[in-house]
Structure 1
Amino acid sequence: MTSNSPRPARHEPTPADPDLYPDLATAGSLAAALAMAAAERGLDLGAVLSNDADPLRTAGVTSTAADREPCWIFIGSESRWFNINGARQGVQLLSGSTSDLEELARAAAGWRNGARLREIEKAASFIKVSELAEAHERGPAEAVTVQWRLLLEDLRQEAPRLAFACQTLVLAETASAEPKLRQLYPFTSHWSLHFTTCTGFPYSWDVPFVDPLSDGRYRVCGPSRGTVIGEADTAEHAIALVIGGLPADCGPSVAGTANDLRHQQLG
């Protein structure tokens, strides 16, 4: 059987606007322009990666540091800017935007060569290192400690105006007083309070979580969302149900993602 339907047109990547990016237009791609800018300043970026889906607007730089993923650079379409993001073990540590290709190359070189986040920030001022990112760099125990404090601070700001935030705050304050939960990495999703045994995303789902209910009570579920452990009238009772449902070998949260934990278990 034949068809008279035309074949779909081949997708061609959108080139960078030459008025905004004359340096990219001259080099032919973002990766080539970045490599050229780095080489002119004696910076080592290795073999700059090019995204096959969008090579004219995206580039990546691998890192020699253990567990650091390649940092990826994207360009703006309406104004000149280069956005860079770098992650390690499921956590975004590096981010920032600049219109200066030379400054971008300095940041990418620091990421590649394993420089500390504050060192990269010093070399490229457009990089802004968050307190939590720096804590992750120091290790999972530091990340857990800072995440607990930031989560409680955020909930205390939201609690006066949102009932669910107030309920979740009471939960989080109760949980933070329990050593078995204080060692886990906490996070919220639609006001549900979760605990994960790893500090990187995707998070683990091996610990029960708590949903605040509209009547002021709580529902404890887990490890899967469809499994209800029980309902509780108070935050104290809800947290007790969470602790009762902890895995037998539950210890402090570790660096990495749920996928990393799964691979370790299989290995």
Structure 2
Amino acid sequence: MTERSNELPPELYPELAAAGGLREALAREAVRRGHRAEPMDPVEGYGPAVGAGCARGEARFAVYATDADVREFRIEISTDRGEQTALFGSTGDLAVVDAILHAWRAGASIGQLRREWTLLASSPLEAAPPGSVVRTAWRLTLERSPTIRLGDAELAEALYAQPALRVFFPWPSHGQFSLLSSTADPFYEELPRAVPSGDGRWNVVLHGSRWSPHMPSRVLGSRLGVHEAAALIAANIPAGSGPAVEGGWPHPPPIMTP
């Protein structure tokens, strides 16, 4: 993974501007709250200003500050068996991060933590603040986080480079890459998707769906590079589409008449 940039707006993260970044900021916050300031470890792929972690046996606690647009500390906690991440959280308050970290270090279980802090959830998108699910999905996609389904990295970067596409929900699946108009089932896909052509290049395909049963699938472009494919998808956004709604698509499919 490419190391995340340490450059965050000081007006959003004033406490991270000092030497030591996030790791030292957490230590200072612990002292301020009367907690023991135990050392935090670096997190692979993240500089000290934006990532910090620690272990408790096989369990792991990590916190990230990577959003340059909105103040956010993102929490990830794994289980005592060292399995995949079990809890996710998001807060703009470093004191909340310290409180959760202190309870976790004291031996609080996953269940106890979730009961005490309702901001903690079982998936990173459930933990995303209202209105930020799409932004969170893109950020985790670009950071190559194992907590979310990942598609081709180069294609993801090219799609995100098109500002008009950033308001849609990234949804890679089976090698293909869709941009959806809803963030949960029922999913609604109205944009063309990128489909691998088998030679490292991409076809851009418009698919029919249950919301548009009379629209046949068709190929809009073949054997394109990632930037060409992203530009073609952006050029074929239907009028009035986006931004993606949070949750399932709220409108029922049309009723078919014989």
TM-score by length of 1: 0.44
TM-score by length of 2: 0.45
Higher helix share: 1
